[in-house]
């Protein structure tokens, strides 16, 4: 097994601000339920631009039983499901979005025919989705435009670009159960046998065995201490004596060293902006909660909240020394 300090393989991923939104029927597997990512805000338009935009949004793309599907409908649908369409080419992506809007209209017509468009149950749904629509529009109109490229560049310069380059190494290893076998393999490597071939034949690490023991690049703090110390003590091309960790006995070969600096601003600009918008949203949510009068009526939930308040550490009110 590979040897991260927590015993788990590394993973990465991104988180959006908004939570998933239920839809009646997905068009295909790409269309699992998801809430709209707010559209990027544009500079304030002129009167002519407003008229041109309005005309463009009213452009009819298709009709369903005589009912027009417009560019405005397409934009809203793209905001809703676009993040799930991955790397689908632009032309195919537009077709998928249109088919989704057509399906929405078909189900809406079916619901109207079944007289589902009125009544208490429908009104409850409409009230809920109106609040959701307002929430999304607030994100679009107020939060997304609150972080500019200049804000992101300032954050980058202060927090990312100025960070000291971190040393990384690329290493291979062979993991075996006994010291005797580790010493035998070390001797065979010393006599000229191929490290990669021996790793494939003997290593017990399923994560790197098929790659000839290659663990890729890693920095300090990512591997268990004894393995890290060994890898960082070697020169490129050197092979270590057997070392023992909680996983077994390792023979380590250093492939390369490098100093990994901060990625270029343009390469991470979008992720930085998304992260800053997320942080801003959390701040706004906290402020709105602080100003609101919240009353938890459900007794079980109310009891949970009271319990949480009771176990919070008391604030430090010790007077500062004079």
Q: pLDDT tens digits for 186-218? A: 999 999 999 999 999 999 999 999 999 999 999
Q: Is residue 183 very low, low, confident or very high in pLDDT (cuts 50, 70, 90)?
A: very high
Residue 165, pLDDT score: 80
> Is residue 140 located within the same domain as residue 199?
no
> Is residue 189 located within the same domain as residue 141?
no
Cα 117 from chain centroid? Answer: 37
Q: Is residue 12 very low, low, confident or very high in pLDDT (cuts 50, 70, 90)?
A: very low
Residue 314, pLDDT score: 54
Residue where one domain finishes, among candidates 80, 113, 146: 146
Q: In sequence order, which ranges of the chain are alpha helices (DSSP H)?
A: 47-58, 71-81, 90-113, 120-138, 149-155, 179-190, 195-202, 225-233, 265-291, 299-311
Q: Is residue 316 very low, low, confident or very high in pLDDT (cuts 50, 70, 90)?
A: low
Q: Is residue 91 very low, low, confident or very high in pLDDT (cuts 50, 70, 90)?
A: confident
pLDDT of residue 180 exceeding 90: yes
pLDDT of residue 35 exceeding 70: no
3-state secondary structure of 147: coil
> Is residue 51 located within the same domain as residue 110?
yes
Q: What's the whole-number mean pLDDT along residues 54-75? A: 88
pLDDT of residue 310 exceeding 80: yes
Q: What's the whole-number mean pLDDT along residues 282-289? A: 94
Residue 55, pLDDT score: 61
> Is residue 52 located within the same domain as residue 139?
yes
Q: For the residues of 8-24, what is the DSSP string, one character each?
A: S--------SSPP---S
Residue 16, pLDDT score: 34
Residue 252, pLDDT score: 97
pLDDT of residue 322 exceeding 60: no
Tokens read off for 3: 């040897």
Residue range of the domain that includes 197 = 166-260
Q: What's the whole-number mean pLDDT along residues 293-304? A: 92
> Is residue 209 located within the same domain as residue 135?
no
Q: Looking at the DSSP assignment, which residues form a beta bridge with residue 239?
A: 253
Specify the pTM.
Answer: 0.51
Asked if residue 244 belongs to a domain, the reply is yes
Q: Average pLDDT over the chain, rounded to whole?
A: 82
Asked if residue 40 belongs to a domain, the reply is no
Q: Give the residue, 91 or 174, on which the prediction is more confident.
A: 174
> Is residue 142 located within the same domain as residue 170?
no
Torsion of CA 122, 124, 130, 132, to 10 degrees: -120
Tokens read off for 28: 């295909």
pLDDT tens profile 119-154: 999 999 999 999 999 998 999 889 988 899 999 999
Q: What's the whole-number mean pLDDT along residues 72-94? A: 90
pLDDT of residue 248 exceeding 60: yes
> Is residue 248 located within the same domain as residue 178?
yes
């Amino acid at each position: 097994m590979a040897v991260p300090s927590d015993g788990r393989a590394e993973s990465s991923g991104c988180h959006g601000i908004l939570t998933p939104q239920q839809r009646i029927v997905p068009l295909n597997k790409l269309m699992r339920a998801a809430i709209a990512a707010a559209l990027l805000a544009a500079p304030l338009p002129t009167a002519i631009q407003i008229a041109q935009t309005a005309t463009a949004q009213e452009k009819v793309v298709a009709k369903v039983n005589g009912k027009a599907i417009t560019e405005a409908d397409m934009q809203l649908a793209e905001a809703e499901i676009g993040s799930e369409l991955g790397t689908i080419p632009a032309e195919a992506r537009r077709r998928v979005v249109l088919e989704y809007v057509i399906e929405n209209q078909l189900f809406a017509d079916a619901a109207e025919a079944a007289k589902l468009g009125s009544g208490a149950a429908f009104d409850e749904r409409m009230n809920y989705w109106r609040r959701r629509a307002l929430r999304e529009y607030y994100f679009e109109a107020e939060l997304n435009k609150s972080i500019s490229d200049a804000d992101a560049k300032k954050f980058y310069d202060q927090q990312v670009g100025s960070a000291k380059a971190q040393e990384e190494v690329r290493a291979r290893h062979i993991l075996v159960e006994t010291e005797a076998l580790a010493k035998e393999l070390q001797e065979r490597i010393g006599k000229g046998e191929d490290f990669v071939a021996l790793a494939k034949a003997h290593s017990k690490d399923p994560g790197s065995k098929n790659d000839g023991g290659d663990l890729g690049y890693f920095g300090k703090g990512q591997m268990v201490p004894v393995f890290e110390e060994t890898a960082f003590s070697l020169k490129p091309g050197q092979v270590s004596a057997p070392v023992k960790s909680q996983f077994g006995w390792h023979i380590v070969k250093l492939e390369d060293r490098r100093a990994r600096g901060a990625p270029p601003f343009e390469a991470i600009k979008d992720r930085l902006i998304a992260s800053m918008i997320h942080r801003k949203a959390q701040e706004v949510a906290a402020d709105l909660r602080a100003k609101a009068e919240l009353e938890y009526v459900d007794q079980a939930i109310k009891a949970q909240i009271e319990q949480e308040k009771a176990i919070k550490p008391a604030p430090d009110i010790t007077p500062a020394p004079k």
